[in-house]
Amino acid sequence: MKLHAFVAMPFGTKPDADGKPVDFNRIYDELLRPALEQAGLDVIRADEEQRAGDIRVDMFQELLMADLVLVDLTIDNPNVWYELGVRHALRARGVVLTLGPRASKPFDIYTDRKLSYHLKDGAPDPAFLAADIAALATMTRATLDAFHERTVSPVYTLLPNLVEPDWKTLRIGAAREFWERYDAWSARIEAARKAEHPEDILVLADEAPVTALRVDARLKAGKALLKGQHFHFALEQFETALAVDPVNLDATRQRGVCLQRLGRADDARAAYQAILDEHPRDVETWSLLGRLDKDAWVAAWHRDGSTPAQMRDDAAYEDALLLKAIGSYVTAFRADPGHYYSGINALTLLRLYADLVGRPTEFDAQAECMAGGVAWAAGCQQDKAGEGYWAKATLGDLRVLRGSPADVTEAYKQAITLADKDWFALDSTLGQLRLLAALGCAPDQVTAGIAAFERALARLAPPEQRWQPDKTFLFSGHMTDAPGRKEPRFPADKEGLAADAIARSLDELGAGPADLALTQGAAGGDLLFAEAALARGLRVQLLLPLPEPDFIAQSILPSSDGDNWRKRYYQLRGNPLCLPPRVMPDCLGPLPQDAHGKALSPFERCNLWLLNSALALGIARTRFICLWNGSGGDGPGGTEHMMKEVQKRTGQVTWLDTRKMW
């Protein structure tokens, strides 16, 4: 979504200091709004708010949440000054000041940068209008580019220790719709994660209903993708968040996690070290560094083909790496004794170290003290929402280190009841136990723990492993012309030529039964592509931008011989190789709206959905075929839009240029 700008200015015609009328509506319509839109922002001022109710509620919400507030100070309007003061108090950055000709500059902001524009007879001067629009657009972009480098609010400049409020805690009660939309969006992100549809998350990530929360949106989407092990896409989300907020600690940490999971250990270590240089006691980063160190130690000895004795000998030999991991976890736990995750990992590795060296160590007394701390910390968190399973599992891990097999079984059984059938959580704890088993540590207790988790997992189906095609064929193309179309684009009598060209393209690209075809299913190019794919044994997935009856009415029946195309659509739907269509409103929810309540194009959104569906299966697998005349379509979301979006991500494009075909 676009960044959001709120304009604080007088409305209608008002007298200036000399009593001359100034038409502020024309200034807004002809100068300010075009300049902000040229800078790439979605623009609104308070009188354009459509909802009924107290205008101050919407004004306060905008002054808090807008990415940019433009303030017009041509006249000394008390409401405008008040709004500027509210923004300066709530936010340190994101203000552009502008004004027309006036005899004196306001003292309170005398030193602030302001953009002056030209007026003639109380309206924008046509002779300077284009230059004024360009100058304001440039200043706006520069302000946004320097968002995190320069404080513009004198409140935050003069009070350097003042901290901006947490936006999400300032939920203005009467602006309920605003937050209801955000909560509904968050729920759809979580539903897409649980359903294992990363393509849905990728679309929704661009649609956070509040652009001021776009960093939070990217974090939420990135964490959902990370949990689903879509590490490349998760990394994109975190890096996008950091492009907006370069100092966001959570995004920086999560970026490091992605780098680690992608096998870029050196880059991950550099990312964590950069955080610790600025925040030397950041417990989460020390814990992540401990995980990185631990993985390096495990990689040094856990090799395929090694016997248990060889692994144990190699693990002991690599004790320097093990001690490094212990050090990171211990540092984390000392920084926050309530962080039981780092504490239990430190204890587990200390026990492994003692077992491997086969003698008492200098860490034994320290481990004894830490065990009590971990038990206390986990016990305090076990009833906290979202912590129940992990806290209880930590108490089970403690029993493995210093309890009987019966104690282990009982503790883990209590944890398993809180897992809410989370296969990944259960499997994660089981993986740690298998690591201990590989080194012969606490064999009786570990065996009891493994048995408890294997029994629990046997009752659950493992997460569905999505079928991975060898190649993914993505298609977009013209519909067959409606009867009487003034400028022919895909005449009905050219169907055979188009079908032959599509079939040849699939053959040349080696399409076969191991591949997947993605398209919408409109009359003409889409259905011809889908029919050709089925003929070659490909699976076909239709993604519909509208509910099926509406899609048929809008994208199939208007074409020449629409009834026949509808029959072919249903024949396609009945083919065993055609997967059930995914319907965009059902999967992604209602279309997002701009600041004025206007819904975006369902066809543009569906293009992005199709593209992300292909990319989620692997960019190297994606092949795009388009049937296109090289010009714009009849509305937004056509083949031209899809071509531009595809070319941003991959060059594997087959363009069937209809200008050369007929």
Residues 626-637, mean pLDDT to the nearest whole number: 84
Question: Phi/psi at 649 (nearest 5 deg)?
Answer: -115, -30
Query: Is pLDDT at 422 greater than 90 in this prediction?
Result: no
CB atoms within 10 A of CB 652: 16
142 Cβ contact list (under 8 Å, min separation 6): none
**CA 213/CA 331 separation, integer angstroms:** 33
Q: How far apart are CA 210 and CA 178, in angstroms?
A: 8
The most confident of 111-115, 465-469, 529-533, 597-601, by mean pLDDT = 529-533
- Give pLDDT tens digits for 394-404: 999 999 999 99
Helix (H, G, I), strand (E, B) or coil at 468: coil
Q: What CA–CA distance (Å, rounded) separates 144 from 153? A: 14
Closest CA to 72 of 9, 133, 154, 160: 9
367-372 long-range contacts (CB < 8 A, ≥24 apart) are 370/330, 370/333, 370/343, 370/346, 371/347, 371/398, 371/401, 371/402
Q: What is the mean pLDDT of residues 232-248?
A: 88
For CA atoms 450, 456, 458, 463, the dihedral sign is negative
In the predicted model, what is the mean pLDDT of residues 336-364? 93
Q: Does the pLDDT value for residue 584 go beyond 90?
A: yes
For tokens 């992604």, name the residue: 588
pLDDT in tens, 211-225: 556 787 788 888 888
Query: CA angle at residue 361 from 358 to 366, to 5 degrees?
Result: 135
* pLDDT at residue 52, rounded to an integer: 45
The single residue listed with the structure tokens 């509904």 is 184
Kindly tell me the burial class for residue 311, based on how many C-beta atoms sit within 10 Å of its own C-beta (0-12, 13-18, 19 or more). Answer: middle
CATH class label, 182-280: mainly alpha
* Residue 107 per-residue DSSP state: G
Q: Mean pLDDT of all residues in the chain?
A: 90
Instruction: Check if the beta carbon of residue 524 is closer than 8 Å to that of residue 480.
Output: yes
- 29-34: long-range contacts at Cβ-Cβ below 8 A with a sequence spacing of 24 or more? 30/123, 30/124, 30/129, 31/117, 31/124, 31/129, 31/132, 31/133, 31/136, 32/7, 32/70, 32/72, 32/98, 32/136, 33/7, 34/133
Q: Token digits for 109?
A: 């902001």
pLDDT in tens, 37-88: 999 998 988 776 544 445 566 788 788 888 899 999 999 999 999 999 999 9
Structure tokens belonging to residue 531 = 């029919």
Answer for the pair 454, 430: CB distance below 8 angstroms, yes or no.
yes
Nearest Cα residue to 166 out of 235, 25, 64: 64
Per DSSP, 32 falls in state I
Residue 595 and residue 584: Cα distance in Å, rounded? 22
Q: Which residues of 232-255 are buried (b: 16+ CB within 10 A; e: fewer)?
A: ebbbbbbebbbebbeebebbbbbb
pLDDT above 90: residue 609: yes
Burial class of residue 631, CB neighbours in 10 A (0-12, 13-18, 19+): exposed
Residues of the chain with CATH 3.40.50.450: 3-162, 472-661
CATH tag for 3-162 (out of 2.40.240.20, 3.40.50.970, 3.40.50.450, 3.40.640.10): 3.40.50.450
Give the contacts of 533 (CB within 8 A, at least 6 positions apart). 473, 506, 511, 515, 517, 540
Q: How many Å apart are CA 525 and CA 638, to the nearest integer?
A: 12
Picking from 169-183, 299-313, 317-331, which range would have the lowest pLDDT averaged per residue?
Answer: 169-183
Query: Could you report the per-residue pLDDT of 377-389, keeping only the tens digit for each?
Result: 999 987 776 789 9
Strands 622-628 and 472-477: parallel
Of the candidates 224, 216, 226, the one whose C-alpha atom is nearest the C-alpha of residue 250 is 216
Q: List, as one string, the DSSP characters of 395-427.
A: HHHHHHHHS-HHHHHHHHHHHHTTSTT-HHHHH
- Are 88 and 96 a contacting pair, CB within 8 Å? no
Positive or negative torsion for Cα 197, 198, 199, 205:
positive
DSSP assignment letter at 539: E
CA distance 453 to 449: 6
How buried is residue 181: exposed, middle or buried, by Cβ count under 10 Å (0-12/13-18/19+)?
middle
- Classify domain 472-661 at the CATH class level: alpha beta
Statement: residue 282 has pLDDT above 50? yes
Distance CA 453, CA 433 (A): 10
Tell me the H-state helices in 279-339: 283-301, 308-317, 319-335
The reported pTM is 0.74
| CB-CB contact of 520 with 610 (8 Å) | yes
Q: For 130-170, write each residue's pLDDT tens digit.
A: 999 999 999 999 988 876 667 888 898 888 888 887 766 66
Residue type, 366: Q
